[in-house]
Amino acid sequence: MSIEGKKKGFFAKLVDGLSKTRDALVKGIENVFSGYDAIDDDFYEELEETLIMLDVGIHASTDIIEELKEKIKKEHIKTPAECRTLLIDGIKERMKTADNDYDFEDKKSVVLVIGVNGVGKTTTVAKLASRFKENKMKVLVAAADTFRAGAIEQLKEWTDRAGVDLISQHEGSDPAAVVYDACKAAQARNVDALICDTAGRLHNKKNLMEELKKINRIIDKEYPGVIRETLLVLDGTTGQNALEQARQFKEVADISGIVLTKLDGTARGGIVIAVQSELGIPVKYIGVGEKLDDLNRFDSDEFVNALFGL
């Protein structure tokens, strides 16, 4: 399928996947807009409460409303209907990614993928590998989640499916040793993107921090000069728990981007807005299904349009 065709397919899935969020969000917001004739404190309060209820997050919701108030004053807007467009534009604006956010997609890079078990980390590694491969990059994957039983086999199945090579050792081996091997192999094979699946044991933050530090040290030493990216994978269906997880990971790792998975079929898509605003880390990819091509770059215009059924 052409890239254009794939993009359309992804958008259709996104629109479809966000239908539950859309139903909840749009219905809630439209109710506020249609329930008030004038813009007053009650209107703002109800709008803010609706955003919070939809997992947009307390801080982000407050910010959005404050920003909206200022714009309304500046532009002398009088009716709730007129302020709907301002609200939508404001949400789009706060989720924009920067131009250099995806440099690792077309330059020599090492991408560390972190996140707790079950969030869709392994699947995301494979989806990224497949995406980079389609972009004509030579990809290598490292199985540095050596802790969870069966993780290596599972990753092997996925990388076979994606048609990319995997560097692995046995279960229980030192993740840093796997990364060392992978750095050597990446250089010997002239690889463009090395993607490392790492373990995410949040219940032992100190160990996790040490492990990630060690991995980073090895990459710095053995594979200098490459672009570094650390993506945290979060399960979009878990709402505020995902946000809490992200806060904890932020303490142990230098996260450069978020991948939100399972946005298909959740009513909690508002979490995308919360994550971006509350953590100050851009959402770079979203997952809307279990197949290899069900991951795409996050596009704030596309996302908010899908969310509001525009």
Ligand X SMILES: Nc1nc2c(ncn2[C@@H]2O[C@H](COP(=O)(O)OP(=O)(O)OP(=O)(O)O)[C@@H](O)[C@H]2O)c(=O)[nH]1
Q: Annotated binding site for GTP: which residue ranges?
A: 115-122, 197-201, 261-264
Q: Smallest distance from the beta carbon of 134 to ligand X, in angstroms? A: 18
Q: Please tell me whether residue 107 adopts helix, strand or coil conformation.
A: coil
Residues paired with 165 in a beta bridge = 140
Could you tell me which stretch among 60-68, 117-125, 178-186, 297-305 binds ligand X (CB under 6 A)?
117-125
Could you tell me which stretch among 3-11, 132-140, 168-176, 259-267 binds ligand X (CB under 6 A)?
259-267
288: closest CA among 18, 8, 3, 7?
18
Q: For ligand X, how many residues bind (rule: CB under 6 A)? A: 19
The length of the chain, given as a count of residues: 310
Q: Smallest distance from the beta carbon of 68 to ligand X, in angstroms? A: 31
244 DSSP 8-state letter: H
Q: Please tell me whether residue 272 adopts helix, strand or coil conformation.
A: helix
Measured CA to CA in angstroms, residue 118 lies from 9, 21, 159, 191, 270 at distances of 26, 22, 18, 29, 21
288 is an interface residue for ligand X by CB under 6 A: yes
Tokens of 300: 């704030």
Could you tell me which stretch among 175-183, 251-259, 285-293, 299-307 binds ligand X (CB under 6 A)?
285-293
117 is an interface residue for ligand X by CB under 6 A: yes
Q: How many CA atoms lie within 13 A of 38 on its CB side?
A: 2
Could you tell me which stretch among 46-54, 74-82, 111-119, 134-142 binds ligand X (CB under 6 A)?
111-119
151 is an interface residue for ligand X by CB under 6 A: yes
Residues 152-191 that bind ligand X (CB under 6 A): 154
Residues 10-69 that bind ligand X (CB under 6 A): none
Which residues 6+ apart lie within 8 Å of 189 measured at CB?
A: 138, 140, 165
Binding track, positions 264-283, relative to ligand X; x by CB under 6 A: x-------------------
Q: Smallest distance from the beta carbon of 20 to ligand X, in angstroms? A: 12
98: closest CA among 280, 243, 302?
280
Please identify, using beta-carbon distances, which residue of 138 and 148 lies nearer to ligand X. 148
Please identify, using beta-carbon distances, which residue of 36 and 303 lies nearer to ligand X. 303
Specify binding-site residues: 115-122, 197-201, 261-264
Measured CA to CA in angstroms, residue 290 lies from 17, 57, 86 at distances of 12, 27, 35
Binding residues for ligand X, per CB under 6 A? 115, 117-123, 148, 151, 154, 261-262, 264, 287-290, 294
